[in-house]
């Protein structure tokens, strides 16, 4: 069986001339000046793979490219170079919550979410009661999303993301939202998905989560995979390097794990 | 699913050698057009939801709700009737009907374009979270305008029956033909507006002014004979004027509703050719820029 996710020599480049220069004047000014870097590699030479039934934790400091990686896996961003192969249905309600359209009710948003994800509407309607029950937001389901608290929004979002029977589930820090009861419930749901041989990629700053619920981990720094392997080992590397950074030292630049990344994770 | 071949997987292990093999391949124009049509067809339900959500919102939080769909074109017409027939003392017979023939389709066009300008940028969050064909957004903007056009036909019909029954003719049945041509044109402009605004938000500020100039340059409040008589000494000037797609469209609508004549087939044909070329170009531009949306937003 092919792995659920296979990534090889992946690179994503941002054009700084276009990003955040939203007026014609600024573009001309920056083109005229020829100053500063024109490109920025958010990810480069990233290789790893995730098999069915595995859950991969992606850890690393802010700005390391973790969220970009999830966006590429969700096929929201196109890789600039390298190859990426994801098998099956991807669910990628990364940090959105349920807010597809804040003016519409929760129920309408569930339908809209299904349509955006390319689900059949009958299928989505059949899943609706399950989603509503799991989100547990009571009569608010018929109120516009804009009236929801952030916790309710996250709950409905998680509920939709996991209810569509994804083969590959991409989660970005969503597990830290919601109250204790809902967190326990969502942990249980993630474990359930893992048991039924789904692949999960989880971006997290919660080392406890990485250790406890993931069986692989990669450490991203400046767009490169610098460590890969068992979560406890990778977390140890990450914590050591974070501690060095906090005490003002620059940790040794680790060589990026390039093509050996595949074997290092596998 | 990104395409991979087994050969590439077994390929050399050094990144430098691997890189060129995985550079993305850009599809040709024909493949782009075909895949765009497929995307629209497979996502027609999403388009439906988007249009319905938009209509729901327009009526929401207002006292009159859905009545606004009929009231809005009527009030616009009233403004121009006061301006032109009362203040400027126009002698055009049945002037309210005369301008309503142009205001109604223009409302569709301007509402769609105004919607299209913001349709991608306001969906920023969704675009960064879910993969879906972005072309559905300008399609929804175009269809949303069409729906308000169809609602506007109700006050038009009422006006014809109550005030100007002598203008009614069977030619009105040809309205969908003219509307179809306008749909192609509107969709093309919406695609361009949506894609370019992502990179240059200036378009949002510019659009209102451009639309207003376009409206006054088109024979909406006056007939194109007026321009013809002004340009008698320069016939080529009038030919340039007829290149404006809304010259042909407004005259055709007016023929059907006001004069009870067949549409200006010649002019309408030119509009269709212009719109078709434009829609092909717009689709290619849109699809070419689409992958960058999530990065730039």
Q: Alpha-carbon distance A189 to A110, whole Å? A: 19
Higher pLDDT, A121 or B141: B141
Q: Is B22 in contact with A85 (Cβ distance < 8 A)?
A: no
Task: Lowest mean pLDDT of A17-26, A115-124, B117-126, name the range.
Answer: A17-26
Of A83, A92, A104, the CB nearest to B4: A83
Q: What are phi and psi of B182, to 5 degrees?
A: -65, -35
Alpha-carbon dihedral sign for residues A189, A190, A195, A199: positive
Q: How far is B287 from chain A (nearest CA, A)?
A: 13
- A111 to chain B: which residues are within 8 Å by CB? 49
Q: What pairing do the DSSP bridges indicate for beta strands A216-221 and A55-59?
A: parallel
Nearest CA in chain A to B49: A112
Dihedrals φ, ψ of A247, to 5°?
-85, 10
- E strand or H helix at B64: none
Can you read off the two tokens belonging to residue B167? 């203008």
- R_g over Cα of chain B: 23
DSSP string across A239-260? HHHHHHHHTTPPPP-PPP--TT
Size of interface A-B (CB pairs under 8 A): 117
Which residue of chain A comes nearest to B3, CA vs CA? A85
Q: Find the chain B residues whose C-beta atoms sit closer than 8 A to any C-beta of A.
A: 1-2, 4, 8-9, 13-15, 18-19, 22-24, 42-43, 45-46, 49-50, 53, 56-57, 60, 125-132, 199-202, 291-292, 294-296
Say yes or no for a CB contact (<8 Å) between A9 and B18. Answer: yes
Do the Cβ atoms of B23 and A81 come within 8 Å?
yes
User: Angle between the B175-199 and B202-217 helix axes, to the nearest 10 degrees?
Assistant: 150
Minimum CA–CA partner of A100 in chain B: B126
**Beta-sheet strand order (sheet of A168-172):** A90-91, A168-172, A199-203, A55-59, A216-221, A224-229
CB contact under 8 A, B126 and A116: yes
Nearest to residue A175, comparing CAs of A157, A193, A192? A157
Please give the sequence-ordered ranges of beta strands (E in DSSP) within chain B, or none if there are none: none
Q: Say whether B24 and A79 touch across the interface (CB within 8 A).
A: yes
Residue A17, pLDDT above cutoff 60:
yes
CB contact under 8 Å between B56 and A75, yes or no, is no
Chain A CA closest to residue B42: A118
**Residue range B244-253, pLDDT digits in tens:** 999 999 999 9
Yes or no, beta carbons of A117 and B57 under 8 Å apart: no
- What residue of A is the nearest CA neighbor of B2? A85
Higher-confidence position of B6 and B174: B174
Instruction: Give A89 to chain B, closest Cα distance, Å.
Output: 10
Q: Find all residues with CB under 8 Å of A207, minimum gap 6, and list them.
A: A59, A235, A238, A239
Is A78 strand, coil or helix?
coil
> Which residue on chain B is closest to A79 by alpha carbon?
B24
pLDDT at res. A80: 87
For residue A37, pLDDT over 80 is answered with no
Pairing of strands A81-86, A55-59: unpaired
Distance from CA of A248 to the nearest CA of B (A): 33
3-state secondary structure of B201: coil
Instruction: Indicate yes or no: CB of B295 within 8 angstroms of CB of A19.
Output: yes
Closest residue to A78, CB basis, from B46, B132, B291: B291
Highest mean pLDDT out of A219-228, B3-12, B177-186:
B177-186
DSSP conformation class of B92: -
pLDDT tens digits, one per residue of A196-220: 768 889 888 888 878 887 888 999 9
Q: What pLDDT band is residue A26 in, cutting at 50, 70 and 90?
A: low
Subunit contact B23:A115, Cβ cutoff 8 A: no
Could B53 and A104 be called an inter-chain contact, meaning their C-beta atoms sit closer than 8 Å?
yes
The answer to whether the Cβ–Cβ distance between B23 and A71 falls below 8 Å is no
Query: Does residue B55 carry a pLDDT above 90?
Result: no
Least Cα distance to B191 among B144, B239, B245, B137 occurs for: B137
Kindly report the nearest CA distance between residue A243 and chain B, in angstroms.
31
Q: Pick the residue with more confidence: B20 or B74?
A: B74
Distance between start and end Cα atoms, chain A: 14
A53 exposure class (CB count in 10 Å sphere: 0-12, 13-18, 19+):
middle
Average pLDDT of chain A is 80
| Whole-number Å distance between alpha carbons of A190 and A49 | 19
The predicted-structure confidence for A168-179, as pLDDT tens digits, reads as follows 888 877 666 667
CA angle B64, B66, B71 (to 5 degrees): 75
Residue B72 CA to residue B104 CA, distance in Å, equals: 10
Whether A82 and B18 lie within 8 Å, measured CB to CB: yes
Distance CA B7, CA B17 (A): 13
* Helical (H) or strand (E) element with A48: strand A39-50
The lowest-confidence range among A57-66, A163-172, B32-41, B57-66 is B57-66
Q: At B155, is the pLDDT very low, low, confident or very high (cuts 50, 70, 90)?
A: confident
Instruction: Give the residue among A173, A138, A169 at the shortest CA–CA distance from A154.
Output: A173
């Amino acid at each position: 069986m092919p792995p659920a996710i296979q990534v090889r020599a992946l690179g994503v480049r941002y054009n700084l001339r276009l990003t955040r220069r939203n007026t014609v004047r600024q573009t001309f000014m920056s083109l005229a000046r020829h100053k500063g870097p024109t490109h920025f590699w958010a990810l480069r030479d990233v290789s790893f793979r995730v098999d069915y039934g595995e859950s991969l934790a992606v850890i690393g400091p802010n700005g390391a490219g973790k969220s970009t990686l999830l966006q590429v896996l969700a096929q929201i961003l196109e890789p600039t170079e390298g190859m990426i192969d994801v098998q099956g249905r991807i669910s990628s309600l990364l940090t959105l919550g349920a807010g597809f359209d804040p003016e519409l009710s929760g129920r309408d948003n569930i339908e809209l979410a299904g349509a955006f994800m390319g689900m059949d509407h009958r299928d989505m309607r059949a899943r609706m009661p399950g989603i509503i029950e799991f989100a547990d937001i009571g009569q608010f389901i018929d109120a516009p999303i804009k009236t929801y608290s952030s916790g309710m929004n996250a709950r409905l979002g998680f509920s939709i993301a996991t209810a569509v029977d994804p083969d590959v589930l991409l989660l970005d820090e969503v597990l830290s939202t919601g109250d204790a009861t809902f967190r326990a419930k969502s942990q249980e749901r993630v474990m359930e998905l893992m048991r039924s041989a789904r692949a999960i990629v989880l971006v997290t700053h919660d080392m406890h989560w990485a250790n406890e619920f993931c069986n692989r981990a990669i450490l991203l720094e400046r767009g490169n995979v610098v460590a890969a392997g068992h979560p406890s080992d990778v977390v140890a590397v990450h914590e050591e390097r974070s501690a060095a950074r906090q005490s003002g030292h620059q940790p040794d630049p680790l060589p990026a794990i390039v093509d050996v990344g595949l074997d290092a994770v596998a | 699913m990104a395409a991979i071949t087994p050969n590439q997987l077994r390929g050399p292990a050094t990144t430098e050698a691997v890189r060129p093999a995985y550079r993305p391949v850009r599809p040709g124009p024909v493949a782009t057009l075909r895949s765009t049509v497929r995307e629209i067809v497979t996502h027609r339900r999403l388009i439906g939801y988007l249009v319905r959500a938009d209509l729901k919102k327009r009526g929401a939080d207002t006292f009159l709700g859905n009545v606004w769909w009929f009231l809005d074109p009527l009030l616009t017409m009233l403004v121009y009737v006061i301006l032109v027939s009362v203040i400027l003392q126009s002698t055009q017979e049945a002037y309210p009907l005369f301008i309503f023939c142009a205001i109604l389709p223009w409302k569709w066009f301007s509402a769609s374009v105004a919607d299209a300008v913001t349709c991608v940028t306001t969906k920023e969050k969704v675009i960064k979270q879910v993969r879906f064909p972005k072309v559905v957004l300008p399609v929804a903007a175009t269809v949303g305008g069409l729906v308000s056009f169809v609602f506007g036909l109700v006050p038009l019909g009422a006006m014809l029956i109550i005030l100007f029954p002598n203008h009614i003719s069977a030619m009105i049945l040809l309205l969908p033909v003219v509307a179809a041509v306008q749909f192609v044109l509107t969709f093309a402009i919406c695609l361009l507006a949506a894609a370019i605004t992502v990179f240059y938000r200036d378009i949002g500020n510019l659009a209102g002014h451009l639309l207003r100039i376009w409206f006054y340059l088109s024979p909406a409040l006056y007939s194109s004979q007026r321009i013809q008589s002004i340009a008698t000494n320069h016939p080529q000037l009038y030919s340039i004027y007829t290149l404006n797609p809304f010259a042909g469209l407004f005259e055709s609508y007016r023929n059907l509703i006001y004069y009870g004549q067949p549409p200006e087939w010649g002019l309408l044909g030119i509009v269709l050719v212009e719109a078709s070329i434009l829609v092909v170009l717009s689709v290619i531009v849109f699809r070419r820029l689409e992958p960058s949306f999530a990065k730039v937003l």
